[in-house]
Amino acid sequence: MSKLLAASSAGAVIQGIPASQIPSTDNKTIWVDANNTKGRRIGTRENPYATIAAAIAKADTGDLILVAAGHTEDLSTAAIFAVDVEGITIRGLGEGERRPTFSSTADVGAVMITEANCVLENLKFLANVTDGAVQAIDLSADADGTIIRNCVFRDTSATKEYLIHIDIATTIANVIIEGCDFTTAAGSMTSSIFFTGTSSNVIIRNNRWQVDCSASVIDHLTAISSILRIHNNRIVNIDDGAGLVIGVKSDSTSTGVIYDNYIQSPKNGAAVLAATNDFFVAQNFASNDINTSGVLDPAADAYAS
């Protein structure tokens, strides 16, 4: 089998990308690399665009935008990175510090997603504005079906920080946030993932947090959720005045599952997990001590055969 084409349990893999994610012949692959200055910029691998905005302006539904390793851009306004074409995928290449990096250099420097079924993958978002950037990613009510996968969120310092990592508009549906890494310094952050209103069929899984949130790390306390699934996350909230790590509105009509999460907060006596009784909640390990292993939250039930 050639080096380009290999087999995996998920099927054929081409240059490390599952064949199921390779665009069909009806779709374009558009390249972005600010570091490649050769010739005229037309969006090809040899002559890529310099910015994400230029690539999105040429994209159609189903197109793939590949962002080269080492690419960097400053986000001074939300318009610079406006994902306003339905069904496109923006995928970063490179590992570690070679991931494409987008620095918010103003308090309105955020990724705005305003269309459905878009994917952001393997990108790094860096807060680089004094007194904080409002959010890294802002999902509008029309951004149903968004997938945010394997992305990294970082602060530059305690005063150059994100106040919210992902801000989600009310009535959002079918969003997946998975495999992401969130790290902040001590500062003024409120929540990492914040739901402004209702949601349905949202999945938050396999993510890692070490953040300083004055409210809840995952905050769905404003309005009800329907089939919200939060599982297999590792979450530490270092804010000793907060305590809450996962908060879901306690309403009899909210539904979902919260399981297999490891959650920790240093505020003694504070509940780290708050969810309505209509949620299925199981096998979550929680602790209020930074040097103590967690206990089941809620407590284990007696099994009756």
- Walk me through the domains of the chain, giving residue ranges and CATH numbers: 30-296 (2.160.20.10)
Look at residue 14 and tell me whether its pLDDT is greater than 80: no
> Would you call 136 helix, strand, or coil by DSSP?
strand
pLDDT reading at 4 higher than 80: no
What average pLDDT does this structure show over 138-150? 97
> Which one, of 270, 269, 272, 294, lies nearest residue 283 by Cα?
294
Tell whether the model's pLDDT for residue 79 goes beyond 60: yes
**C-beta separation of 212 from 187 below 8 A:** yes
Say what the pLDDT of residue 188 is: 82
The whole-angstrom separation of Cα 293 and Cα 279 is 24
Residues 270-285 have pLDDT tens digits of 778 888 777 899 999 9
Residue 81, pLDDT above cutoff 50: yes
**pLDDT at residue 9, as a whole number:** 46
Q: First CA to last CA across the chain, in angstroms? A: 53
Mean pLDDT of the chain: 88
Write out the two tokens for 112. Answer: 């705005």
Percentage above 70 pLDDT, the chain = 89
CA distance 127 to 278: 37
Distances (CA, A) of 22 to 18, 64, 89, 194: 7, 8, 10, 32
Task: Work out the pLDDT band at 109, boundaries 50, 70, 90.
Answer: confident
| pLDDT band at 251; cut points 50, 70, 90 | confident
Span 26-60, pLDDT tens digits? 899 999 999 998 878 999 999 999 999 999 999 99
Q: Is the pTM of this model over 0.85?
A: yes
Give the distance between the most distant pair of CA atoms in the chain: 73
Residue 6 has pLDDT above 70, yes or no: no
